[in-house]
A and B are shown apart, each in its own frame.
Chain A
Amino acid sequence: MRADRIWEIARKDMASVQRYRYVRLGLILMPLIFAVFIPLVLIYPVVAGEEAPKDNELPPFARPGMPSKEAMVAGLIDMATLMFMVIPAAIPSTIASYTLVGEKVNRQLEPLLATPTTDLELLMGKCMGAFIPTMLTTVASFVVFILVVDFLTLPLFGHMILPNLLSAVVLLVYAPLISLLSISWCVFISSKVTDIRAAVQLGALGVLPLMAFYVLFVGGILSLESLTLVAFALVLISASAGLFALGKVTFQREKILTRWT
């Protein structure tokens, strides 16, 4: 595998997609929503509220072992932190849809396939072209999120509550795996559809497993213990590996030229 070829494909894809309005919009709006809007709407009202919720009124996701208001706010921060998994799941569905389905529709894949690159180099380049902007956006928004949350909650806790273990796990383990999962899913979808919008919509289905995890946490069925975090990481690793393998089988020259409808 030749890194320079992979990087060149990724670089070209990154340069190409940033010219699409919907991709740019996604790269700007998502961080704004998750890093600024959610803390302001979800966390700030509780921090600023005069009354603390009663212990028996606390929702299942509230952090145990804390006074009720702090427990409620810490639980909400955990919720907002988990919501960050949506960014690495959603952005690739836009980028990969443009770089795969868009190139298929515009018949840009054939000259690319005629180059002396291997199928795996092409696939890796395409994946990296979606992975890098996704992770840059996720990390940048997370930094803003941490600053906003710490700024809002410093008077309540008296110390910076973020970064913590959960945020580190989400950013360093879950986000890359979810991004890879989403990209692999998009590669698979690209072989089935000929419309970019359909690809984006189907790609968004990649968010569903995360929503399931999220609902289980909010509903109190799952707690954010180390075991749960490790188990979810293992699920993500298996799913990413499985889908990447499927993407690899799907992304073969002959299939792209003759089977991708």
Chain B
Amino acid sequence: MIRLERLTKEFDGLTAVDGLTFEVEEGEIFGLLGPNGAGKTTTVRMLCCLIKPTAGTAFVGGLDVRKDAIEIREMCGLLPEAPGLYGELSAYRNLEFYAKLYGVPRSKREENIKKLLKMLDLWDRKDDPVGTFSKGMQQKIAIARSMVHEPRVLFLDEPTAAISPEAAKVVRDFILELKHERCTIFLCTHNLDEAERLCDRVAILNSRLIAVGSPSELEKSLGLGKTEVHLERVSEEIVRAVEKLDGVRDVEVSGNKLLVGVRDPDEVNPLIVETVVGHGGRVRYVTRTPHALEETYLKLVREGESG
């Protein structure tokens, strides 16, 4: 659905985005991760045809960002970092305005607005000026605005930044719901936990592309994953036996929990459980450590920065 070919953007001689090449499949939730100033927003702006690449190109739905700007904007929805709503206008009017600019026919317009506002639990507030809404509600309206014309591709730039955890959950659930409708979602985020929960694949960017793949693939490629084994009781014997397993990097003990550094969880986790049970341990449950993507990300970005 999206294909970048050596996509590059320079501003006054400064390279903001340097030769990005990757693809995003239809119906995929794709995360773009990177530190501040890594070029995430610039990349999204090029893909939405808001700014032109300096070199290279990209294709959205088979159309070239250099040549087919209007058609690409018709098929895309964009949620920028700031909601940018018209605070003095009602929620309904904000959405109606954009629906008209996207050329949505009248009957469909009303239907779409109603559906989105109901999905986001804001139908009762449709006639209130959005300036009176909380940040979370405004963010929901901004998401509804980006969806009002039923885009095939949705670009979300930090969709849950600066909103409450409750509102963030509603937004995340909404994003997952869109995936079921085969909408391709391109998500820029600093929230690695969110990326891990939502994204099928992620790209890590720091002007240049550092890595691309599913969170588990990236984790595996660096061997940074950790498996948590919760036991009834941890014994020295169990720890030593697990440490000796092939594919185990290190073992930490935290209360009745083993934190096992593994290179390939799919392969090693069954061996860990077998070994623990074989040495008299009683397993309560086994899980991956949360924030595995965070470790992967930090390692990759540091490596990228050191060249």
Contacts and interface: CB of A to CB of B under 8 A. Distances in A.
B13 to A, nearest CB: 14
Contacts of B103: 5, 116
Interface string A99-124: 00000001111111111111000000
A115 B145 contact: no
Which of A106, A108, A111, A118 gathers most chain B CB within 10 Å?
A111
Which of B74, B81, B85, B86 gathers most chain A CB within 10 Å?
B86
Which of A12, A15, A112 gathers most chain B CB within 10 Å?
A12
A8 interface: yes
A253 B73 CA distance: 13
Interface residues on B, range: 20 to 34
B84 A107 contact: yes
Interface in B209-233: none
A8 B70 contact: no
Nearest to B145: A111
A4 B84 contact: no
Interface in A1-17: 4-5, 8-9, 12, 15-16
Contact of B85 (A4, A108, A114, A257): A108
B241 interface: no
A258 interface: yes
B100 A111 contact: no
Given A111-B98, A116-B73, A117-B101, A12 B82 contact: no
Nearest to A109: B84
- Majority-rule SS of A interface residues: helix
A19 interface: yes
Given A16-B88, A115-B73, A5 B101 contact: yes
Nearest to B74: A116
Contacts of A8: 97, 100-101
Interface of A: 4-5, 8-9, 12, 15-16, 19, 106-118, 253-254, 257-258
17 contacts: A5-B100, A5-B103, A12-B89, A16-B88, A106-B84, A106-B87, A107-B81, A108-B84, A110-B82, A110-B84, A111-B98, A111-B146, A114-B73, A114-B76, A115-B102, A116-B73, A254-B52
